[in-house]
Structure 1
Amino acid sequence: MGMKNFSISLIFFAIPLIFFHKNNGVSLASADQTLIQKTCTNTLYYKLCMSSLKSDPASLTADTKGLAVIMASIGAANATATASYLSSQLPTSSSGAGANNNKTKLLRQCSEKYAFAAEALRESLKDLGDETFDYAYMHVSAAADYANVCRDAFKGFPAVSYPTKLGRREEGLKRICRVVLGILDLLGW
């Protein structure tokens, strides 16, 4: 009879612990949501920041530096995808002259610039790991500037219009970079 009472007492003791533990998990998740919201409030593009970070489950357990890492990784993937997109737009043959040659040259140049932007963002990830936030800031700023260099290259060839799809991709990368820079500001670089 004594063992049965001990087992029943143990069950009554364990049940509140399970609920307490479960409730703490919920509180922790909402506390992490609060960190994400506070962090994103410090950026120029709150909605982009929130949707990007919410799409990555690792953001729920990340600190501010971890949130910067997630956003910089998203930026690197974005720049890499744009470089690949631009490469896919290059003609397969080298025939043609004038505007077509200039467009090919510009697309190739822009593909390289976006590849450099991706590399700069990957360097910023190393900087974040080393907690050299000033270098991370520099690399993220450089990534955004590579997109500007691409647009500016088109200005030198008025006969070749800047592709609308590329303009949207450029704006997307620059916004992601601005979000990362806003998060880096919180780290006190």
Structure 2
Amino acid sequence: MPRQVVLATHNEHKVHELQQILGGAGLDLEVLTMSAFPEVADVAETEVSFAGNATLKAAAVAAATGLPALADDSGLSVDVLGGSPGIFSARWSGRHGGAELSRAEKDARNLQLLLDQLADVPDAHRGGAFRCAAALVAPGEEPVVVEGRLDGVIGGAPAGENGFGYDPVFVPEGRQRTLAEHSDEEKNAISHRGRAFRAMVPHLQTLV
């Protein structure tokens, strides 16, 4: 029976993406999602770095389930904004009157706020990077943390349907299309999460 590992996220977009990335690694692991553990609550991201938040989430889920847990924290760092939104990427536009918005609505508001902030910034100064820290925590073991990065520029308007978050405005370095205009396979081959989780594969192999 394959060893099990839990993806410590409730974000279905990430689950789909990570399952594709790990599925291509040939690991003899059964990848479980948080839907298998409805009693485990979301973990508040209270650390001040991608690595800290990823480790916090993986450690909490490993403790709650008794299984190795794999988590990531990722976001967009824009040069002219001093590295922001950074760890606040998923909640950059803040709360809206206490209303519970869908993830798509939150993404749309975050993206629009970013575009508004960069409206007068010339193309030469719209550089940034997607960054990802992935953490693996097995009960009783020290955390393992790896990182991935994808450099690029922020476009002036959204383009593409195959993505989420800031994908529709992020054009990877050396390319002419946004990440949302790439296929899943193209995106996973170059993305910050793809790079981080491929770097994690040798550590996951120790679980098998």
Higher relative contact order (CA 8 A, sep 6+): 1
Bigger fraction of residues in helix: 1
- Which protein is bigger by CA-based radius of gyration? 1
TM-score, structure 2 normalization: 0.28
Bigger fraction of residues in strand: 2
